[in-house]
Amino acid sequence: MTRSNTAIRLVSTKDINRQQWLEVRKQGLGSSDAAAAVGLNPYQSQLELWLIKTGRDADLPKPDATDESSPMYWGNILEPIVAAHYTKHTGHKVRRINAVLQHPESDKSWMLANLDYAVVGADDVQVLECKTAGEYGARNWREGVPEYVQCQVQHQLAVTGKQAADVCVLICGQEIKIHRIERDEALITKLIELERRFWHYVLTDTPPPADGSESAGLALRYLYPFDTGNTLDFSQDKEVSAVFSELLQVRVQADDYKKREDFLRQCLQQRMGEASKASFANGSISWKRSKDSVVLDTATLLQERPELLKQYALTRAGSRRFLVQSQNS
């Protein structure tokens, strides 16, 4: 049964462009932000999301919705096709919402949602979320709906008060799967608690802790792109000193593992000889030569035509390097 609270239509999306829509989304956490906000998005860290929500994302790389090699492009193109096949498979009619929705309770007004479609005239399901998964992303769907998508859908149900949603995913362009997600009150309560904690980071302009992901590393590079030349003395700070000591230990272990990996790889290569592939009971390896390629000899070219450097020079932005040195090195 659908709950009585009705989401507020914050902004109509019919007459705004993508940039305006993104600005509206900065007023709160949308359903696609939910997993990142609670640390469960494999593609985006809390720190990167925080940069976006606090307006520090101007220089961050952004997906191009018009790039035909981008998953976002094909997701947008295929979404109505996925919805049409959902109707064909289930008999449920769907309609677009065309609005950014807001949680009706004032203490949760930061909770926003964009629904792909509303399901019309069905008693057991009210929301449709359309997804596409390519060859790389398909593995995330082998065991059902990925955790980060479940967070997205439960957030939608929390904002709208609806009882259930169907997730319709197109796998590798040739297989449609439909998964039902029922409203989970315990999960929603925990989700709101964790999202509220993240939103507090935004309101207080406090960066959340890094999580070791590639996304967090990217965010740190854009958050602190320059150094001042100052030296900080952490020798009396037990907490930070413990982190540094563990880093030194981990680097030694990683170096040992790398040496062992190199040795094992070389053993296998030596046994393979000129063979291209070898199979085992639990997997396989390949050792193939790549095709020859033609490259430009820029060193010789600039030596013979030095004026070209001035004519076609580009400035490459510098970046900070993180170097570790122990007392024994």
Give CA–CA dist 23/30, Å, rounded: 12
The pLDDT of 113-140, averaged and rounded, is: 93
Q: Give the N- to C-terminal CA distance of the chain in Å, as an integer.
A: 66
In the prediction, which pLDDT does 3 show? 55
Which residues 6+ apart lie within 8 Å of 159 measured at CB? 7, 31, 101, 102, 103, 111, 112, 113
SS3 114: coil
- Lowest mean pLDDT of 15-19, 105-109, 317-321, name the range: 15-19
Contacts 24+ apart (CB under 8 A), 288-297: none
**CA Rg value for the chain:** 25
- Lowest mean pLDDT of 71-75, 125-129, 267-271, name the range: 71-75
- Lowest mean pLDDT of 8-17, 53-62, 199-208, 304-313, name the range: 8-17
Give CA–CA dist 325/329, Å, rounded: 6
Residue in the structure block whose two tokens are 């997701």: 75
User: In terms of DSSP H, where are the helices of the chain?
Assistant: 18-25, 34-37, 46-53, 71-90, 147-160, 185-203, 214-223, 238-272, 298-304, 307-311
The pLDDT of 2-29, averaged and rounded, is: 80
Give CA–CA dist 311/58, Å, rounded: 29
Give CA–CA dist 35/25, Å, rounded: 15
Give CA–CA dist 92/246, Å, rounded: 56
Is 199 a residue whose pLDDT tops 60?
A: yes
Q: What is the mean pLDDT of the chain?
A: 92
- Lowest mean pLDDT of 56-65, 88-97, 179-188, 256-265, name the range: 56-65
Provide the pLDDT confidence category of residue 329 given band limits of 50, 70 and 90.
Answer: low
Higher pLDDT, 215 or 75: 215
The pLDDT of 245-271, averaged and rounded, is: 97
Token pair of 206 as six digits: 């406090």
Token pair of 127 as six digits: 């929301």
